[in-house]
Structure 1
Amino acid sequence: MFKNAAVAVGLILMATILRLLFLDELGSSYPFVIFYPAVLLAGLYGGLSAGLPATVFSTVLACYLWVDPRRHLPPGHMPDWGKMIVFLAWGIVISVITELVHRRLARTRQLKSQAEAALAEANSKLMLERDTLQAVMNGAGNSHLAYLDRDFNFVCVNETYARTCGYSPEAMIGKNHFDLYPHVENETIFARVRDTGEAVQYLDKPFEYSDKPERGVTYWDWTLTPVRDVAGTVTGLIFSLFETTLRKRTEEALRASEERFRIAFEDSAVAMTMTTLDGRIQKVNQAFSKMLGYSESELIGQRFTELTHSDDLPENLVGVRRLLQGEIASFRMDKRYLTRDGRTVWGDMSTNCVMDPQGMPLYLLTNIQDITSRKGIEVKLQEMNELLEKRVIERTEELREKDLLLVQQNRLAAMGEMINNIAHQWRQPLNALGLNVQQLRLFHESGQLRKDLLYGAVDNAMMLVRHMSGTIDDFRNFFKPDRERVEFSVKEVVAGAIKLVDASFRSNEIAIVVNCPNNPVVFGYPNQYAQVILNLLENARDAFDTCRRSNARIVFNLGCRGKRSVLTVTDNAGGIPDAIIDRVFEPHFSTKGPKGTGIGLFMAKNIIERNMHGSLSVVNDGEGAEFRIEV
């Protein structure tokens, strides 16, 4: 209010200044002329609170300006009271009118402000309701929801609907449904629901996307519900869809699968049954009926236990129990069935438990292959196998006896060789012993037998006897069996073996050369190792018998390769023919004809490789054969 009064005073002062500026032109005849506009402006600005002070203040100043202020006329020259009253009345009226106008404008502004606030609140509620509706629609999961106006333009859609159409929800607002997906029948349905206000519902309604032909025919459950205003007029439609293509195709595939199963079940050459969980037969095929001699109607309702041989029933029941408890996925057994005429038939039975979608057992499905003939053959085969096993045992025993005989023959042959070697070893000492005895006789007959000659002859005889006794010990030690594995010097064993046959080989003019720069020690059976060396020497000597050479020789080279000893035995007897060199270690294979047993090299290889975990091999080196022993 103070502000309005101040504005009124300011306007009146401005009018007074103008009145003074034009005092000469106006004189004092029209004291109120310049104040009419000032009072009007004050009233328009502040209404009564500005117009009324302006009117009073103007009247005071007009009375002062009625006379010429420069002449300082006496106050008796007062204005016309009539004009002053008119001015006051006009000022009061203008103030009242402008006050009323101001109040009307203030009320209008208040109403406008209230309307704007109410509109903002309504818009806020509308936005909240729209967001809530959108959230509810988006929360519908796989359901497609859309709200359309009377012209079928999208007002609101959920994300699932928009995503299926290839848009965002915002981008679909305002688009016409049938501009996107023209369909005369559906547009007719939409128009009928809008015009009649009656909702419709369709199940598995087919639809083809014009812009997505690769999808083929799709199927939908959809409802179309009208939306009414308070007056009952349809203002829009709620369109709800749920795609059932997968379910539809699954149902079709299931029906096709059930039909294939029915055909496979009924027409199968394999006997099949469907059994309830309590063991009653629910369905059988013709093959099962024919197998047991019952009709299908006679089998339905029977328990499978009534058709099972009592000896097979416990195993069958255990399998069914484990199957129903989920311990196994299926079980299989050979079991006997009882036929209608009392016979027993064999079946290769395989049972599975069919489950529902929740994983609960529905029924047992069993396949039975008639194996009665096979079982008869198996019995005959078992009898034949038992007979064959008996014959194999007998034959094996015969072969074992032959092998023992061959081993004995080989041993006797080796002993014969050893006796021959002993003969060679003893021939020279016996000759010397005989000459010594004859010399004693000659000395005695000639009377020249003196004590020193007698003692010398006795000493020579005893030396020869001890030498022959040592030879006997050497051969006896060679034939002594090895009882356990021991560490031994390969060089010493080779020297000992050569010593046993050296005289025999010298008599046959076969030189034995030994090159032993190393003296490896191995873990094994020394006498068996020596037997292998003697076997190789005897084979070489036999080879020289068929291949006469003036410079016959056998060379031993002993060395090491890592932690293993390597012994090569090489002769110059011409080698082994390539056609048979890979067979020389086979049992009963011999190149010596009736003289050979064919087990010498076989036993040598077994000794080195089986008993001593080494290797024995042979190659031709040009002049002869080279046997290689690694232990």
Structure 2
Amino acid sequence: MAEYDFVLDMDFSILRISAEAENKLGYTPSEISGKPFIEMIKTEYRDRTVSALKTKEKDFCFILGSDDVQHFIELEPCTLPDGTTGVKTVSLNPLTKEKSGAFSCFAEFIENIYDIYYSADIYGNITAISPSVFIYSGFTPEELIGKNLGSELYVYPALRETFKELIGKHGKVTAFDAPLFRKDGSIWWVSTSAHFIKNINGEIIGVEGIARDITDHKEGQEKLLRGIETRYKTLFESATDAIFIFDLRTKRIADANAAARKMTGYSLEELRKLMPEQLHPKYEFEKIHSYIVRKREEFGLKETVRLDFLSKHGDIVPAELTASVITEDGRKFSIDVARDISQRLATEKKQREQEQMIVHQSKLAAMGEMISNIAHQWRQPLSKMTGILTNLEMGIKQGNLARDEAETLIKEAFSTLKFMSHTIDDFKNFFSPSKPVEEFCINTALDEVLSIIEPNLRFHGIRVMIKAQENVFLRTYRSEFCQVLLNIIQNAKDILYLRRIAEPKIDIRITSGRGKTVIRVADNGGGIEHAAMGRIFEPYFTTRPDGQGIGLYMSKIIIEKNIKGTITARNTFEGAEFTIVL
């Protein structure tokens, strides 16, 4: 019977134990005789071991030694001639000292590596582990064999379930990181690569793998993450824009920075109790529910939305809002960034008021120029009217005024008055507010501008040379466009007059193509001083002794803000050139 490690009676109680088994398990015959064999087997293996003993089939299990050390074995039961059961056992621990040959070399190799070799059964109980585990965990291999990874060693048992899912799906796991408990209760981290172990019948009996200590790496990562989190929180709290973090599942505010608390007047605790719409006046509810909430829950607000907030004290706070959606642990959060634009709106309002004042001043200045132009326009007709009235007076006094001559003089007088009235109408139409947007011919508009200023130009001996494409049309604000042309031409006229240019001229060119219309107005007045070039479009900046510095500023406002074009200036060989691109 010496070839069997155990001999069991009909009830599978131990009758005899071999000397080799005694030595391996640490039991004496007197300690173990009569003891049920099943009581020595690890609980989760007992049913299958009973089945193996009854059917006399090979199986594997954990058997407990006298020193409470678990041994992972393969057992092979058979029926003996006297009706008892003989059981042979073979250690399945590849690191056991009873192995020889290749297994002995393997064990020697494993005992000398810093990484940890381990194997575990199908239940997650450790069946073998290399001595290096003591360095990292404080456990000896004997203390760990039989311990369950999921319930006794994993800090987070759910991670063990994840490990089992991965290895069950792929047959192997690579670089699986998990925190484990040390013997003293502290935590260390391992990165495991493992695969299934199968017996000669192809049946999975467990897993084996290599575990590497990555505690320093993980602690470094955690320290880095804590640093990043601290920096994030600092940036979050110090941001000048209000930031709200909404939990899209609960529809509540999860966090809000200092700027958000200041803008709304609520504490963080108060904000967390509010529904999102309670932060806005009622007239914003439709926008919030029909647009912002839907967009936020889908993929965030990619565009900026204008939205008013309602503070705790009832103040309306105008803001611009953007939102991004993030997912954290399967939950969606919306990060809403709201910028308080109260100051900007106040500045814009003040700027508009200033611009309106400048517009008014510009109109007054333009009216002064127009009065001058009207004076030039009326000088000749008034002289003519004086002559007609003088002839009528002398004819009446001398009594020699014929009827037909009187009618001719009266007809000329009416014609002259009609011309003067038409001139007034031209100026009135020029200064009347234009329609919001209208399509007009630039060539015609230029002719109208020149008809107003032409007598003044002629008086100063200034030639106007026009080179323009025919029938160039534009759709914009006609009156404002004409005002810009008038400003630029009058500036050129003033410079030509002040600098006493011998043969003064103004060149006007109009071209159109590729969706752009370009108007260039150039003079031969010597150009703009280099120091003044960068400031000519600033309000109240002028280089003329009698200038007000609002004409070019208004021209820039009209072209760039109202008409959405550009206006620039440069010096040419002869003088200055202004270019308008629409």
TM-score range normalised by the length of the shorter chain? 0.3 to 0.5
With normalisation by structure 2, the TM-score equals 0.48
With normalisation by structure 1, the TM-score equals 0.44
Q: Which has the higher helix share?
A: 1
Q: Which has the higher strand share?
A: 2
